[in-house]
Amino acid sequence: VYVIGTGERLAEEYDYHHRRTLGDLLGTLATRSGGRALFVKRASKLKDAYRAIEDELRHQYTLAYYPATGAEPQPRRGEKPGWRTIEVRVSRARARVTARDGYYSK
């Protein structure tokens, strides 16, 4: 999910329960899905945000893997049942990896 937050006070405005800022919530939504959050103060800057997302989407690809039967690790302590963490690393020095933190196995 790619999120664009607009406004000058996203870091100051809190959610309904006053626990997290709106910027934090939008950022979490984006990063947990493998996307990215962009924040602009004025609507006149939306075009730049759209261009950044467009550029990123043009340079992405999908990786997939299938673990051997029975080889999936057990959830770590504190993780939800069925949750499997993943980490994607690359050897290219200036490459940036955007990926979600894990997935639910069946």
Residue 80 has pLDDT above 60, yes or no: no
> Where would I find the beta strands (DSSP E) of 7-101?
36-40, 83-85
| pLDDT band at residue 76 under the 50/70/90 scheme | low
Strand (E) or helix (H) holding 102: strand 102-104
CA gap 6, 26 in Å, rounded: 11
pLDDT at residue 56, as a whole number? 87
In the predicted model, what is the mean pLDDT of residues 67-96?
Answer: 71
CA gap 82, 74 in Å, rounded: 8
Say which range, 27-36, 70-79, 80-89, has the weakest mean pLDDT: 70-79
Residue 72 has pLDDT above 80, yes or no: no
Model confidence pLDDT, tens digit, residues 11-70 = 888 888 889 999 999 999 998 888 889 999 999 999 999 999 999 888 887 877 776 655
